[in-house]
Amino acid sequence: MKECMTTVQATIKDSLKTLIQWILERREMLKERDAKRLLKKRKATISEEQPSKNPKLRTETIDELRNYLRVVDFEKNAQDKESLEGISMITALQVIDSPDGEYLIIHRANNHFRAFDTLWEILHVLDRQDLYHLYRVVDDYYEHIPPTGLGLMLLGDLNIIWETAESSDDDFWKDQEEWEIIRWRFHESSGVHTLEIEDGTMIHMLAERRYPLSRELMIRMLDHGMEVEEETETAITLIHLFILWTTEDGDNS
């Protein structure tokens, strides 16, 4: 009888071990499958996530919307934009520490590379497709090493751009009534607008996506005005969206 119980216990133990191993393998398989599906979905929709156009805006409405734009000189990056046009896909990222500070080195498939020290500068140079490729490269780069310094800031900023939901309750979006606006700028090339507040924080957002900004903050942003290099349909449409969002019922205030 004792030998029989020992055999049964050993069989159960082996079965449990096999079951646990199967669960772990199944979990990894599902995780990998979901990751591939997410990447496939992102690639399939990236072209759709462009700033929307609204050809039905009346002429007088467009003239009114222009009042919220402030045309400024972006000359600092004009040469960079021209030199990067038409080059190949982003393939790698390096974070270099130098006596002058940290730099982000973006590498492309054709062996072209360029150094940047802020995402602000990157957004003015890259287009939307580049921006998504950069996000995937940065996410992969820090999958097995902890991000620090400029790399940590870049990863956080890109996560906000691509992963923030309209209903996010993250602490990052709290106390918006205390945010003092320094600058609100639109980057036409990447279709991203950036809100800079007094403590130095820069919040980068896709033009067509709604983020958890309060109604009161959006009104203050409109009153402040959005800096643009030139008046474009995309910039005017973004202003139009902000006005619509501030007048909707059930807003985020």
Nearest-5° Cα angle at 141, 99 to 212: 95
* Half-sphere exposure for 53 (CA within 13 Å, toward CB): 4
pLDDT above 50 for 230: yes
Identify the pLDDT of residue 68.
95
Q: Which helix (H) or strand (E) holds 24?
A: helix 2-45
- Report CA 103 to chain centroid distance, whole Å: 19
Burial of 222 (0-12, 13-18, 19+ CB in 10 A): middle
pLDDT above 60 for 76: no
> How does pLDDT run across 171-225, given as a tens digit for each residue?
889 999 999 999 999 999 899 999 999 999 999 999 999 999 999 999 999 999 9
Q: Which of 104, 131, 132, 242 is nearest to 187 (CA)?
A: 131
Identify the pLDDT of residue 11.
55
In the chain, the percentage of residues whose pLDDT exceeds 70 is 69
Rounded mean pLDDT, 42-71? 66
> How does pLDDT run across 142-182, given as a tens digit for each residue?
888 888 888 899 999 999 999 887 777 788 899 999 999 99
